[in-house]
Amino acid sequence: MKVAFFSTKSYDITSFEKHNTGAHDIIFYESTLNTKTAKLTQGCDAVCAFVNDHLHERTIKLLSEYGVKLIAMRCAGFNNVDLKAAKAANIKVVRVPAYSPMAVAEHATALIMTLNRKTHKAYNRVRDGNFSLERLTGFDMYGKTVGVIGTGKIGQYFSKIMLGFGCKIIAYDLYPNEELKALGVTYLSLDELLKSSNIISLHCPLTEDTHHLINEAAFSKMKKGTMLINTSRGGLINTIDAVEALKNQTLEYFGIDVYEQEEKLFFRDLSENIIMDDVISRLISFPNVIITSHQGFLTHEALDKIAEVTLGNLLAYQNEESLENEVVL
């Protein structure tokens, strides 16, 4: 199949070139897929897209006009795909449901431990010849209460890591997980979780129901001094409300790998540019905020798996086999 890949970076090209045994003719584009770039798919059977590509109704209509029959998402989330429009255009959508839940769970842990033990500050200090320990005091993870919102694949691994630290795990999910319950995880209502947690980590998908799940009302229920971690999707948090919660010290620590307006910022080097987004600039100014630019998935193992499963999805479509990773409405 001839496939146009959008939003590609060097690490995508390396892993897909390694795994593509010649079955597919791949064209790598650095640009985002949107109504303007859709014309690059002329003559292609499929597109391969990522988290910030625009697969809205108008783009999908254009893809259909150019002959695209398959949208292969090389990620788990598909909140940026208009599934109704794809169905109407007779375009199938496939994804990579699980490539390395451990990678994201471990990154959430890295954010927690960096905020807690301030290793980023210590690193810079020592390089500057400053061996002082002033203002580097952290806290023991042992015995802390960690609230996990969404205990699917990533939330489960994350909960097990936190259990390893000796934390008490409380969770909120529409469908409680029996294995976690057997390990001592207690499922509570969202309100109870917000009230009781020292650390809250978000692992549910972004849907109409979860959009701004963490807003002013949710912050008002949290303990003073809470740590909030988001490695799921930016839209789960009302960021303006998070800034207020940081200012009134409800949030003592805030670690995010995703940001609602990340599309214009993340995955690019903007070090020589003026950042026009005042909210992220305000967030960056807090000493107790860590932002990483959607790198939770970025491990060698995850990249290999993403390439293998995506190429398998393309091959299954080409061979008219059943699409086990199809996203259906």
- Can you tell me which of 197, 232, 310, 313 binds ligand NAD, judged by CB under 6 A? 232
235 binding ligand NAD? (CB under 6 A): no
300 flagged as catalytic: no
233 flagged as catalytic: yes
Site for ligand NAD in 139-168 (CB under 6 A): 149-155
Determine which helix (DSSP H) or strand (DSSP E) holds 253, and give its type and residue range.
Answer: strand 251-256
127 flagged as catalytic: no
Q: Which is nearer to ligand NAD, 62 or 94 (CB)?
A: 94
Site for ligand NAD in 72-101 (CB under 6 A): 76-77, 98, 101
From 19, 203, 233, 260, active-site residue: 233
Question: What's phi and psi for 87, nearest 5 deg?
Answer: -65, -45
189 binding ligand NAD? (CB under 6 A): no
Q: How far apart are CA 51 and CA 71, in angstroms?
A: 13
Whole-Å CA distances, 272 to 124, 269, 275, 290: 22, 8, 9, 21
Token reading at 149: 């919102």
> Are the beta carbons of 65 and 91 closer than 8 angstroms?
no
Q: How far apart are CA 238 and CA 254, in angstroms?
A: 13
Three-state DSSP class for residue 75? coil
Q: Which is nearer to ligand NAD, 255 or 296 (CB)?
A: 296
Q: Which is nearer to ligand NAD, 150 or 255 (CB)?
A: 150
Token reading at 165: 């630290």
118 binding ligand NAD? (CB under 6 A): no
From 135, 262, 282, 300, active-site residue: 262
Q: Whose structure tokens read 């978000």?
A: 202
- Amino acid at site 289: V
Q: Which is nearer to ligand NAD, 60 or 302 (CB)?
A: 302
Segment contacting ligand NAD by CB under 6 A, of 12-20, 172-180, 218-226, 266-274: 172-180
What's the min distance (Å) between Cβ of 9 and ligand NAD?
13
Helices 300-318 & 10-19, crossing angle to 10 degrees? 60
Which stretches of the chain bind ligand NAD, using CB under 6 A?
76-77, 98, 101, 104, 149-155, 172-175, 203-207, 209-210, 231-233, 257-258, 294, 296-297
Residue numbers annotated as active site: 233, 262, 294
